[in-house]
Chain A
Amino acid sequence: KNEVEQSPQNLTAQEGEFITINCSYSVGISALHWLQQHPGGGIVSLFMLSSGKKKHGRLIATINIQEKHSSLHITASHPRDSAVYICAVQGGSEKLVFGKGTKLTVNP
């Protein structure tokens, strides 16, 4: 079993829909990261969380440390949100452990 599991693997939505991507992890962590990867490979860091909730524009990330679970929400989705969203956790060491990603396609 992977240390970081994401669901769903693939997600197709219509423009304007509310999107939720889930991430569960099995180890103790110091921080959880949500990243966005566009075709071609470039990765952008969206959030780093250690507790609670963060919001940036239409993106919201939440984390429940007790349940070892985090969600990334996108409100009023847009075709430009189409990308792979990756959850990564950071434990006591320096390395990030990544999930396999969720491929989001938002159709106009």
Chain B
Amino acid sequence: ETGVTQSPTHLIKTRGQQVTLRCSSQSGHNTVSWYQQALGQGPQFIFQYYREEENGRGNFPPRFSGLQFPNYSSELNVNALELDDSALYLCASSPGQGAVTQYFGPGTRLTVL
């Protein structure tokens, strides 16, 4: 059973560019959540996808968008990058919605210059 994987590991972009981050969920998991973790802070919920539909969203602007594919892997897209978008982006998969254990990937470290 493979765990949650994310790509790329690290990424450097400049202001105004667009970025796509990828997450492969753990086998058998149909739910993926995305989080942003700024340095020295706890993660912040961006959104969750359940069976290819957005299933909840945190306080992030529309330039943060996502997608979940039929195999339950997921993408996070960020348009018009800003310096404050520099952070560790974490995805977590779970076998369903609600109060279940989430399994986290290793994260993608995004630096915006």
**A interface residues, Cβ below 8 angstroms from B:** 4, 30-31, 33, 35, 40-45, 48, 50, 86, 88, 90, 93-101
Contact = CB atoms under 8 A, between A and B. Distances in A.
Interface in B59-113: 88, 90, 92, 97-107, 109
A45 B44 contact: no
What are the 5 A-B residue pairs with the smallest beta carbon separation, nearest first?
A98-B42, A31-B99, A95-B45, A43-B104, A41-B107
B28 interface: no
Nearest to A45: B101
Given A95-B56, A95-B58, A40 B98 contact: no
Contacts of A88: 42-43
Instruction: Classify the secondary structure of A's interface with B.
Output: strand
A84 B19 CA distance: 28
Contacts of B35: 96, 98
B97 A94 contact: yes
A94 B104 contact: no
B2 interface: no
Contacts of B45: 95-97
Given A31-B99, A95-B45, A44 B56 contact: no
Contacts of B102: 33, 45, 96
Contacts of A95: 33, 45, 48, 56, 58
Interface centre among B40, B41, B98, B99 (most CB of A within 10 A): B99
Interface string B22-50: 00000000010101010011111100101
